[in-house]
């Protein structure tokens, strides 16, 4: 019976030891998960900053109301057109925007948000995006966009979508640039053509 208190004390010590070991193990597990989560967020922010830096235009959308399948189809269709589309967490977008030196993006990021990243011609990107949204009948709300450092409203994006194709705009611009040159050429070359006509007639008369 004399050993009972000692046995009780030993069992208590062992229990305390197991509790301490368990607490340390749990604490290490929590720290490990926290570090993994921090690393994951850092990678997401880095990837977002890279997308923002490479993009010619960014379109911010509120995706509430879309089904999972609709989101997947939209993402796949845009990917085929060379457009990235990702659901993003606003706090991470803010960090990425600062990292990519695009702070104005934060002005249009609010609520449940998904961003479309266009890496080619901005007009082509907006056209492709709008065409699919309309053809699929998606209830997708366009919050705005970012073209360089300029914030675009939804109506600005609609105006871009209604512009003629890039090739048509370029050919029209070239035509306008060439028109004055052609007119000047005609004015300058007219006396030369008249002189040539006179010389040709004189030569014919002399030959006779």
Q: What is the pLDDT of residues 113-151, one digit of tens each?
A: 999 999 988 989 999 999 999 999 998 899 999 998 899
Please check whether residues 88 and 179 belong to one and the same domain: no
**What distance, in Å, lies between the first and last C-alpha atoms of the chain?**
154
131 and 99 inside one domain: yes
* Domain total of the chain: 2
Whether 119 and 104 share a structural domain = yes
Q: Which of 53-67, 147-161, 194-208 is predicted least confidently? A: 194-208
Using alpha carbons only, give the angle 139, 142, 146 rounded to the nearest 5 degrees.
160
For residues 173 and 149, state if they share a domain.
no
Same domain, 80 and 182: no
Same domain membership, residue 170 and residue 128? no
**Are residue 108 and residue 55 in the same domain, yes or no?**
yes
The model's pTM is: 0.65
Residues in the chain: 208
pLDDT band at 172 (very low <50, low <70, confident <90, very high): low
Query: Rounded to 5 degrees, what are φ and ψ at 204?
Result: -65, -40
Domain region containing 174: 165-201
Reported as type and span, the H/E element at residue 72 is helix 68-80
Rounded Cα distance between 84 and 78, Å, is 7
Does residue 186 belong to any structural domain of this protein?
yes
- Helix, strand, or coil here: 149? coil
Q: pLDDT at position 91, please?
A: 93
Of 141, 77, 150, 133, the closest CA to residue 110 belongs to 141
């Amino acid at each position: 019976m004399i050993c009972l208190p000692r046995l009780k004390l030993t069992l208590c010590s062992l229990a305390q030891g197991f509790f301490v070991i368990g607490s340390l193990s749990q604490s290490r597990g929590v720290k490990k998960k926290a570090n993994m989560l921090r690393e994951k967020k850092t990678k997401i922010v880095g990837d977002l900053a890279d997308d923002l830096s490479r993009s010619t235009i960014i379109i911010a959308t509120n995706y509430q109301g879309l089904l999972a399948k609709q989101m997947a189809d939209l993402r796949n269709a845009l990917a085929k057109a060379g457009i990235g589309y990702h659901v993003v967490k606003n706090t991470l977008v803010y960090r990425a925007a600062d990292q990519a030196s695009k702070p104005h993006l934060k002005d249009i990021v609010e609520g449940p948000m998904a961003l479309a990243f266009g890496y080619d011609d901005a007009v082509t990107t907006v056209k492709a995006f709008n065409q699919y949204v309309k053809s699929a009948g998606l209830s997708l709300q366009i919050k705005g966009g970012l073209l360089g450092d300029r914030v675009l409203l939804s109506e600005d994006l609609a105006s871009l979508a209604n512009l003629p194709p890039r090739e048509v705009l370029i050919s029209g611009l070239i035509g306008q640039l060439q028109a004055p040159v052609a007119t000047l050429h005609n004015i300058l070359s007219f006396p030369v053509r008249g002189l040539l006509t006179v010389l040709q007639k004189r030569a014919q008369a002399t030959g006779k």
